[in-house]
């Protein structure tokens, strides 16, 4: 009996922390769950249903896009790195070299998985690597690999460029990503990607039933975004920063719209994406494991509830206070954060999405699509300590900076994977300009320049109403969410 309860706790821990399991382990867990169907059903902790486990397995083990590159190309990447990194890699063992490559491109291992496969790519039995959702939605929380956490270190542009060079050295032709990158910038700062444009560009080649059609030339606004954490999914009725799309399993398939996937693909994989939907819904934010001053946090809760909760909701209290999420959209002129993302999606684009197969949840029929949202929806703040940088474009490195609108850094870069324990967020350095001796393009892309298009750190002046003492208490309270 003892063994059984340990197993159950283990599974619950995995689900709670957004972690999951290798195939072998998940088959084992699948069995345990069949034996103990009521494993961790506590509403606040997420539910380890069979379908959620299947969803995770599908995302990590099934490629839904054509393969990006082969293991042999990945293993030879070091040969195109700049010096002195290349010489260091040459002297290193294959294992260390792989570690260096993971580090350079923002890849991580999979938690609780003895294989050395990356979380962010499906690696099949013939050694082909294919990007999966975790490349943007599976990062590390201060160094701890966490599926569902935004990957705030993903270096897609650098990886793609260097894969192209490595393929050339191997006498291979460039792939879909390398060719695409010649026309569409993939992301100018590590940890952010031009993700919305991928979806819009791909949808441009489809009719509403997802049949392939001739593309009409269109002008797209290129801009980078920071992926949101998946542990809010269960709370949000509508998704994306402007909340334009009602959530549903079909909508989750947009990212797979490459021409190779015909309309059949969508019908064939629909049930897999129901599992993915269940997996996303099962995730919960990790809990802060550092010190919290409970008295100060309690003062912060009171300040938060009268200044922030109308938009961000409430998070319950130890004496039974209820949690709520208002799903409130704030007009762009009131929120004042970077407006590029709001305008980059057109009314026509959203309308087309609304008429498409994606926005018809199946038996439930037509979903609600807001074709002209006038602002951004305040996200839930559960686990907010674990998902820096902040705002939809990732322009603000710490919660302290969110609370001090006039003191946010203009040009910054992360200098460590450790949490800034005072300001809560990324440990960064501020500079006036990128030093001229930083020559490696991968390093140059670690700087976030808030003066660039779509990268403004302005707005959200609501904390200005607070005194410094109140801000300190709210910062403490935010750690408890
Ligand atoms: C290249 C990076 C990237 C990849 C790959 C990616 N996403 Fe995203 N995802 C984003 C970004 C950026 C956003 C925010 C978009 C917005 O708000 O306009 C987002 C938003 C979402 C949201 C909405 C979350 C919320 O709270 O609003 C969901 C759900 C989601 N993605 C699921 C997926 C799934 C499932 C896959 C794989 C099939 C996937 N994503 C692949 C970058 C990515
Ligand atoms: C009028 C509504 C409103 C009020 C009041 C408000 N916020 Fe926000 N908040 C938003 C919106 C909208 C965003 C998203 C902005 C964006 O990403 O561009 C946001 C974003 C944030 C974020 C960043 C979340 C992330 O994951 O990137 C934090 C932290 C935050 N708010 C904290 C607070 C605190 C603390 C208060 C109270 C002092 C507060 N907010 C008051 C609407 C509000």
Mean pLDDT of the chain: 87
Question: Which ligand is the nearest neighbour of the Cα of 133?
Answer: 1
Average pLDDT over residues 185-189: 90
The pLDDT score that the predictor gives to residue 206 is 77
Rounded to the nearest angstrom, the distance between the alpha carbon of 88 and the centre of ligand 1 is: 36
Q: Is 398 in the pocket of ligand 2 (CB under 6 A)?
A: no
For residue 458, the ligand closest to its alpha carbon is: 2
Domain boundary assignment for the chain: 2-282, 294-336+381-479
Is 56's C-beta closer than 6 angstroms to any atom of ligand 1?
no
Dig out the tokens for 479 from the structure: 């750690």
Kindly report, residue by residue over 442-463, the tens digit of the pLDDT: 999 999 999 999 999 999 999 9
Which is nearest to 180 in space by CA: 163, 5, 89? 163
Segment 315-319 shows an average pLDDT of: 80
Atom number in ligand 2 closest to CA 376: 12
| The predicted structure's pLDDT at residue 264 | 87
Closest by alpha carbon to 423, among 465, 480, 385?
385
Cα 421 to Cα 146, 385, 398: the distances in Å are: 19, 10, 10
Whether 396 is in the pocket of ligand 2, judged by its Cβ within 6 Å, is no
Confidence check: pLDDT of 317 > 70: yes
Virtual torsion, Cα 205, 246, 372, 345, nearest 10 deg: -40
- pLDDT of 32 reads 33
Is the shortest distance between the CB of 252 and ligand 1 below 6 Å?
Answer: yes
Mutate to test the pocket of ligand 2, among 312, 325, 448, 480 (most ligand atoms within 8 A of CB): 312
**Ligand 2 in reach of 225 Cβ (< 6 A):** no
Averaged over 117-126, what is the pLDDT?
96
Does 152 contact ligand 1 (Cβ within 6 A)?
A: no
Confidence of residue 7 (pLDDT cuts 50, 70, 90): very low
pLDDT of residue 310: 97
Separation of CA 479 and ligand 2 centre (Å): 15
Tokens 């674990």, residue? 386
Q: Is the CB of 337 under 6 A from ligand 2?
A: yes
Q: Give the ligand whose atoms come closest to the C-alpha of residue 378.
A: 2
Ligand 2 close to Cβ of residue 238 (< 6 A): no
C-alpha 344 – ligand 2 centre gap (Å): 21
pLDDT in tens, 23-54: 333 333 333 333 333 333 333 445 569 999 99
**First and final CA of the chain: distance in angstroms?**
34
Prediction pTM value: 0.90
Tell me the average pLDDT across 248-264.
86
> What is the rounded CA–CA span in Å between residue 123 and residue 23?
13
In this structure, what are the phi and psi dihedrals at residue 272, rounded to the nearest 5 degrees? -60, -40
Which of 228, 460, 480 is the best mutation target for the ligand 2 pocket, counting ligand atoms within 8 Å of the beta carbon and taking the most? 460
Short-list 394, 391, 143, 427, CA closest to 286 = 143
pLDDT given for residue 200 in this prediction = 67
CA 330 – ligand 2 centroid, Å: 10
215: pLDDT strictly greater than 80: no
Ligand nearest to the CA of 261: 1
């Amino acid at each position: 009996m003892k063994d059984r309860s340990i197993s159950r706790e283990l599974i619950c821990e995995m689900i709670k922390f957004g972690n999951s399991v290798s195939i072998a382990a998940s088959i084992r867990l699948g069995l345990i769950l069949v034996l103990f169907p009521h494993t961790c059903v506590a509403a606040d902790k997420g539910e380890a249903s069979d379908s959620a486990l299947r969803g995770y397995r599908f995302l990590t083990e099934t490629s839904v896009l054509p393969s990006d590159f082969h293991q042999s190309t990945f293993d030879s990447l070091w040969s195109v790195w700049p010096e002195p990194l290349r010489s260091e890699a040459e002297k290193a063992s294959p294992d260390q070299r792989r570690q260096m490559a993971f580090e350079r491109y923002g890849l991580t291992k999979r938690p609780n998985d003895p294989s050395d496969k990356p979380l962010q790519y499906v690696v099949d039995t013939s050694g082909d690597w294919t990007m999966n959702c975790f490349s943007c939605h599976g990062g590390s929380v201060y160094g701890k690999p966490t599926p569902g956490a935004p990957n705030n270190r993903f270096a897609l542009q650098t990886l793609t460029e260097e894969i192209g060079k490595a393929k050339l050295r191997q006498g291979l032709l460039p792939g879909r990503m390398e060719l695409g990158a010649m026309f569409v910038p993939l992301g100018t700062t590590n940890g952010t990607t031009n993700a919305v444009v991928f979806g819009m560009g791909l949808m441009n080649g489809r009719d509403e039933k997802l049949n392939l059609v001739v593309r009409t030339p269109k002008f797209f606004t290129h801009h980078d975004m920071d992926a949101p954490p998946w542990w809010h999914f269960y709370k949000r009725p509508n998704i994306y920063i402007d909340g334009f799309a009602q959530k549903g399993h079909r909508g989750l398939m947009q990212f797979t719209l490459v021409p190779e996937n015909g309309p059949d693909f969508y019908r064939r994989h629909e049930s897999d994406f129901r599992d993915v939907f269940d997996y996303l819904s099962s995730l919960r934010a990790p809990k802060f494991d550092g010190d919290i001053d409970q008295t100060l946090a309690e003062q912060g809760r009171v300040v938060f509830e009268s200044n922030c909760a109308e938009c961000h909701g409430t998070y319950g209290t130890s004496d039974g206070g209820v949690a709520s999420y208002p799903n409130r959209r704030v007009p762009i002129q009131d929120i004042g954060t970077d407006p590029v993302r709001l305008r980059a999606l057109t009314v026509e684009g959203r309308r087309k999405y609304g008429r498409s197969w994606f926005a018809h949840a199946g038996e439930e029929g037509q979903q609600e699509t807001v074709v002209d949202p006038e602002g951004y929806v305040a996200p839930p703040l559960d686990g907010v300590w674990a998902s820096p940088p902040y705002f939809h474009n990732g322009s603000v490195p710490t919660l302290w900076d969110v609370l001090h609108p006039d003191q946010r850094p203009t040009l910054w870069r992360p200098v460590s994977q450790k949490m800034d324990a005072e300001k809560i967020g990324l440990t960064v350095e501020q500079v006036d300009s990128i030093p001229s001796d930083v020559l490696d393009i991968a390093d140059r892309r670690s700087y976030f320049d808030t003066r660039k298009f779509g990268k403004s750190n302005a707005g959200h002046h609501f904390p200005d109403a607070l005194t410094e003492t109140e801000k300190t208490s709210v910062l403490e309270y935010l750690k408890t969410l």
